[in-house]
Amino acid sequence: MVSFCPRIVAFCCDKSGYVAADMAGELGMSLPEGLDIIRVPCAGRIDAFHMLKALENGADGVLIFACHEENCQSLTGNLMAKARMGYVYGIMESIGLERERLELCNLATNNGVKFAETVRRKCEDLERLGPSPVK
Amino acid sequence: MRGRHILIIGGGIAGVTAALELAEMGIPSTIVERENRLGGRASVFACKASEKCNKCFACVVDNQIQEVTRTPQVKIMTRTTLEGVSGKPGRFKAQVQSNGGKTLLEASALLVATGVDFFDARCKPEYGYGMFQNVITAQDLDEMLRSTGGVYRPSDGKIPSKIAFFQCVGSRDETIGHLWCSKVCCAYALRFMKAIRHQNPEIQTSFFYIDIQPLGRSFQSLLQSCRQDEGMRLIRSLPSKIYGRRTSTDLRMRFIDPVSGEIVEEGFDLIVLSIGMTPRQDADSIAQVLQIPKNEEGFYRSPPENSGIFLSGACKGPRDIANSIIDTKSTAQKIIQYLGGM
Amino acid sequence: MTSSDDCRIAVFVDHCEGTLSHLLDGEMIEYISGLPGVVSCDQDENLSSPERLEMLTGRLAKGRADRVVIVGGSPRLYEKSFRRLGMTEGMNPYMFLVANVREQVAWTVHDRERAKEKAKAIVAKRVREAPFLTPIGREKVKVPKNAVVIGGGMVGIRAALMLADANIGVTLLTRAKDIGGKAIQLTHFYDRPDDVSSWFVKQVEGVKRHRNIEVKTSVELKGFEGYLGDYRINLQNSLGKREVVKGSAVILTAGCDVVPNTEGIFGHRCFISPPQMEAMLRNAKKSLKDEKGNPIRTVSFLIDLVNETIKIDSANAVKNALLLKKDPDCTVYVICRDVKVSLDGMEKQYREAREKGVIFVKYNDTPRFSLVNGRVNVEVKEVSTRMGGDEYSLSILSDLVVVSEKFAPPQDNEMLSSILGIPLPEEGYLMEDNPQFTQMRANRRGVFIAGGCRYPQTLDEALVEAEAAASGVTALLSQEVYEFDLAIAEIDPEKCAACLTCPRVCPHSAIVVEQYAERNIYITGGYKKDFKWRAARVLPPQCYGCGICVSSCPTKAITLKHQTDAEISLQVGP
């Protein structure tokens, strides 16, 4: 099998995920080149439609970086994202997409290491899973 | 109308918050920081969230520091120290010493936010800090967590299987004359244990304490979840000595087992000392320059309100990030009051 | 949206003091210049400094570009200064994008060729997005210098005084007949040697005499609406008369409920509450006597049965134990789980109490109580008496047992939460303890919370909180107007079905449903000419622009101005 470089769409909350991504950069941690960072004002902004759109547009995996529970500037934004993911999981199952292709990760502004590790782990998972069948 | 400018001594979380709060009120300020970067003690803290936020407020520090560097009303002078102050309340002339030489700053009020020192664990030689590699302080653990994202034994870089947290190292200790409680360490260590156990449930943690000191609103739920966790033992007993060899991964100690009530001996492969807070070593020099009274413990006491000198944060006595922030905001309001309103 | 042919994009390449020079070489610049819509591509060393950025905007004013893409570091570096500068230069501050090739490529993709490819892709994407940008305006709301403080306890009094001294007019509302609250009953503080009641009286007098403070007593809260700069509070007085109080900002300072523990045996006369103890100590001449005049020889303080993590009881017990110990014949026990010494100077007092002979007994299991000849026998397993598997109980025969009261979330919190739109988490105290709100800010802009309704705390802590809340208000009201970007959600009333989803999900209580819409796709005719359709509306000063409502709206009637669905769809594309 030819190894491939998975395309990961990472939705990053402006209050936590994006700052952590910057910190990962400052620490010089290596990130997979297929990573595509999308900055959103809050994880609650991400609609089920956006997650599915990303998968439809050829992303092998979608990551959502939200604030820790009880640490969201918008109180419920991270919980909203989680709830919408539940809905998307149902759709993914019915169209035969693996559950691993969508994941939520809670982190704080100073979790640069966790950001890099989560992305790297996801990248490995996706390499094992192979390219998205949607492509 | 007085020319409004506040000189903030100390660029830790208290000083930074003060500058931001004052800037929002339209009052410019200058931060004088001795080190080469802002943030002070709190800026090396790691996030201690488990499945949810454990309210350690470390993320707030990062936000505030980034915010203050982008606020034009705040002038930041790093590697600068306060040399002397002349003039009278409301019209201070402060002399500061930096790389570029001496500068004279005018200020309508001074805010002292010099913070604290952490207790030097070497002063308790029985715990072997500095001697045994695997005895570290909570601050070391914090830096490790922040920069590597995990917990490792310093001796060989492996993940420890049993961690012990020693409370009250340098606090509530008559032998070294520290007759105060550092207030934050219990919550701090419990959060650590939550975070570590969440990240790696294989690690067993033990918490050795005298009395558990509550801190803040969410402490009840934190304590409850710690008590329910089987991998976390809360032991009301402080071992008096740690036995081991330099790079030993088996550090032994004796304590009273809470279940059997007997003295038992047990080994741990990482010991974290929850060091307390002490007044700064250079507290005297600033106290003398500004004539700030001190209390019996050596922390600052508030000078009279008309002196134009204000205190905020941990230089008044141990406090955590959240309390330092709240305290600083209240001081900002007192400054406004002193300046005669907006 | 403008089609890409019409828009003119100026690209600025920031080398970030040389750190990106290896990535952004000549070939890269050529590539960028060739992208559709790009009219210019300038290079600079350090755009994050305001001076350099000023130069950039100067160049912009000369050119014909209407959009800017910066290729360089993190957008967080440029945003604030660009938005401030952009405004002065007649260019909309939101017409710019940042391609973050430093954090996302240069520092994290270590293979040089691949890094270049990725950087190109990121820049190309941003340039493709640029035509979708829409200008975003700025709005001002007037913030008159007046505030409302709800609650007339010591916390409310302190907040009112602090605000009044900062020249902000204050309306202090209380349900009680007079201000002062619960704390005014106290006479001694653990950390102050002298009688504090005179200090309280002085504070109350200070409020009544201050020219900036108006006190309204015996009023009930009935309604709350508005936004920062224009909050309107509906009140009802004891006679049933309604009135409306206006304020730019609000501080809520309700206290917590204190319930004496009188269940079961605790109802017996030998068990008293801490305030009863305070009163006895206040009235006692030298030694304590019971109602028959017999001296009280043994007093036990029983704490931590409820409210294990609240240090007020512990501090009170130590303080009162020391007062009792002024009579050397009195034996005092403090029966607790943990001695809370995390208050300034408390450790010393604790030691002093021990030296004076106060006996501290620590338990893990709840003690048992029985009545013996009109006295109370407390049977408690002291933690240190457990030796070798055997457990010994201590029997403490006391004349008087002081049982700590239960601090409960105020019952009013439910009412306050529903009227003010502040979340009420499970434990019953207002507003979750969210670090993002630094404790005293509520979810609505301009509303602050302090004191016992947040959680039970010592008076000193609560007063600091009151001052901090006052500083929050002062900061918001420091200018004549509150200025903010309209980077918020906007509802299209034509599409709104008034389903009430958005006011429900909005975390900042920024959406109201009003009768204002002229037209609506759901109106099929048959209505009178001046009929107004009910539709949701965003209150601009309240909106934080989080976008939760946008993705919750079932009819897609809401757009987030600074990040539309179309933009996200483009971003998730390849």
- Closest to C105 in 3D by CA, of B301, B50, A22: A22
Chains in contact with C, where contact means 3 or more Cβ–Cβ distances below 8 Å, are A, B
The pLDDT score that the predictor gives to residue C3 is: 52
Q: Return all residues near C239 (Cβ < 8 A) that are at least 6 apart.
A: none
* pLDDT of C519: 78
In tens, the pLDDT along C507-533 reads 999 999 998 887 778 777 667 777 788
Amino acid at the residue C210: H
Q: Best mutation site among A16, A75, A79 for testing chain C: the one with the most C CBs within 10 Å?
A: A75
3-state secondary structure string across C66-119: CEEEEEECCHHHHHHHHHHHHHHCCCCCCCEEEEECHHHHHCCCCCHHHHHHHH
Note which residues in 302-341 of chain C have CB less than 8 A from chain B.
Answer: 308-311, 337-341
> CB-CB: which of A7, A24, A73 is closest to C108?
A24
Residue C302's pLDDT is what? Answer: 93
Hey, what are B108's tokens? 């309508």
Q: Tokens 């190109």 sit at which residue?
A: C120
Q: Is C211 helix (H, G, I), strand (E, B) or coil?
A: coil
- Residues of A within 8 A of B148 (CB-CB) are 113
CA angle C440, C443, C446 (to 5 degrees): 70
Between A22, A45, A72, which is nearest C550 by CB? A45
Please state the length of chain A. 135
Q: What are C224's strand-pairing partners?
A: C233
B301: closest chain C residue by CA: C344
Interchain contact, A108 vs B59, CB within 8 Å: yes
State which residue of chain B sits closest to C336, comparing Cα positions: B211
Q: Are strands C368-372 and C375-380 parallel, antiparallel or unpaired?
A: antiparallel
Residue from the list B55, B212, B336 with its beta carbon closest to the beta carbon of C474: B336
Whether residue B278 contacts residue B178, with contact meaning beta carbons closer than 8 Å, is answered with yes
Mutate to test the interface with A, among C551, C555, C570 (most CBs of A within 10 A): C551
- Torsional sign, CA C148, C151, C152, C155: negative
Take residue B42 and report the two structure tokens written for it.
């709190």
**Using one digit for the tens of pLDDT, what is the confidence trace for A46-98?**
999 999 999 999 899 999 999 999 999 899 999 999 999 999 999 999 999 99
* Statement: the pTM of the whole predicted model exceeds 0.90: yes
Count how many Cα atoms sit within 13 Å of the Cα of residue C421 in the half-sphere of its side chain. Answer: 24
User: Looking at the complex, does the CB of residue A110 fall below 8 Å from at least one CB of chain C?
Assistant: no
Strands B117-118 and C213-216: unpaired
- With vertex at residue B16, the alpha carbon angle to CA B11 and CA B18, rounded to the nearest 5 degrees, is 120
Query: Taking CB atoms and an 8 Å cutoff, what residues of chain A touch C108?
Result: 24-25, 28-31, 116
Closest CB to A31 among C109, C433, C550: C109
Of residues A133, A131, A134, the one with CA closest to residue A3 = A131
Sequential DSSP letters for A4-55? ----EEEEEETTTHHHHHHHHHHTT----TTEEEEEES-GGG--HHHHHHHH
How high is the pLDDT of residue A128?
A: 93
- pLDDT level of residue C200 (50, 70, 90 thresholds): confident
Chain C residues 46-75 with CB within 8 Å of chain B: 50
Please give the residue of chain A at the shortest CA–CA distance from C103: A25
Edge-to-edge strands, sheet with C146-150: C213-216, C169-173, C146-150, C249-252, C447-449
> How far is Cα C236 from Cα C259, in angstroms, rounded to an integer?
27
Flag whether pLDDT at C1 surpasses 60: no
Q: How far is C464 from chain B (nearest CA, A)?
A: 6
Residues 6+ apart with CB under 8 A from C90: C61
Q: Which residues of A touch C103 (CB under 8 A)?
A: 21-22, 24-26
Residue of C76, C117, C552, C572 to mutate, testing the A interface (most A Cβ within 10 Å of its Cβ):
C572
Q: What is the pLDDT of residues C66-121, one digit of tens each?
A: 888 999 989 988 888 777 766 556 678 888 899 999 999 999 998 888 899 999 99
pLDDT at C530: 76
C500 touches chain B (CB under 8 A): no
Whether C86 contacts C114, CB under 8 Å: no
Q: Cβ-count burial of B219 within 10 angstroms (0-12 exposed, 13-18 middle, 19+ buried)? A: buried
Tell me the two tokens of residue B2. 């007085």
If contacts are CB pairs under 8 Å, which of residues 68-107 in chain C contact chain B? Answer: 76, 80-81
Q: Any long-range contacts for B293-298 (C-beta under 8 Å, 24+ apart)?
A: B295/C345, B296/C348, B297/B178, B297/B179, B297/B180
Cα B266–chain centre separation: 30
Taking only the tens place, the pLDDT of each residue in C166-175 is 999 999 999 9
Predicted confidence band of residue A1 (pLDDT cuts 50, 70, 90): very low
A56 shares contact with chain B (CB less than 8 Å): no
Asked if the model's pLDDT at residue C45 lies above 90, the reply is no
Structure tokens at C29: 């610049």
Tokens of A73: 């500037």
The verdict on A73 touching C (C-beta cutoff 8 Å) is yes
Percentage of chain C lying above the pLDDT 90 cut = 52
Placement of tokens 């829409």 in the chain: C134
- Residue C359 belongs to what H/E stretch? strand C359-362
Largest alpha-carbon pair distance within chain C?
Answer: 100
Nearest to B218 by CA among C11, C427, C263: C427
Residue C27's CB is within 10 A of a number of other CB atoms, namely 10
The string of DSSP codes covering B44-106 is GPPP--SSS-----HHHHHHHHHHHHT-TTEEEE-S-EEEEEEEETTEEEEEEEETTEEEEEE
Given this model, what pLDDT does residue B213 score? 94
- For the cut 50, the answer to whether the pLDDT of residue C2 exceeds it is no
Q: Which amino acid is at C13?
A: V
| DSSP-based three-state secondary structure for B246 | coil
Residue of A nearest to C114 (CA): A33
Question: Is A111 in contact with B53 (Cβ distance < 8 A)?
Answer: no
Q: Which of A4, A13, A27, A31 to mutate to test the interface with C (most CBs of C within 10 A)?
A: A31
Name the residue in chain C with its Cα closest to that of B55.
C435
CB contact under 8 A, B220 and C308: yes
Helix (H/G/I), strand (E/B), else coil: B138:
helix
Given an 8 Å threshold on Cβ–Cβ distance, is B322 in contact with C439?
Answer: yes
- The two tokens of residue C197 are 């009641």
User: Which tokens in the block code for residue B292?
Assistant: 């700030």
CA of C409 to nearest chain B CA: how many angstroms apart?
12
pLDDT digits (tens, 9 = 90+) for C530-563: 778 889 999 999 999 999 999 999 999 999 999 9
Among the residue ranges B234-238, C151-155, C165-169, C389-393, the one predicted with the least confidence is C389-393
Best residue in B59, B65, B198, B217 to probe A by mutation, most A CBs within 10 Å? B59
Q: What is this model's ipTM?
A: 0.94
Beta bridge partners of B263: B256
Q: Which residues on A lie below 8 Å from B53 (Cβ)? A: 67-71, 108
* Residue B192 CB contacts under 8 Å (≥ 6 apart), including other chains: B48, B138, B141, B145, B165, B272
- Our CA-based measurement puts residue C471 at a distance from the nearest CA of chain B, in whole angstroms, of 5
Whether residues C478 and B333 touch (CB distance < 8 A) is answered with no
Residues in chain B, pLDDT under 70: 1-3, 342
Q: Where would I find the H helices in C451-518? A: 459-476, 501-505
Model confidence at C194, pLDDT cuts 50, 70, 90, reads low
Closest residue to C309, CB basis, from B219, B258, B334? B219
In the stretch 36-55 of chain B, residues with CB closer than 8 A to chain A read: 45-47, 49, 51-53, 55
Task: Using a CB–CB cutoff of 8 Å, tell me whether C365 touches chain B.
Answer: no
CB–CB contacts below 8 A, A to C: 124
Separate counts of helices (H) and strands (E) for chain A: 4, 4
The whole-angstrom distance between B144's CA and the closest CA on chain C is 21
Taking only residues 2 to 31 of chain B, the set having a beta carbon closer than 8 angstroms to any beta carbon of chain A reads none
pLDDT at B1: 38
The reply to whether residue A19 touches residue B62, judged by beta carbons under 8 angstroms, is yes
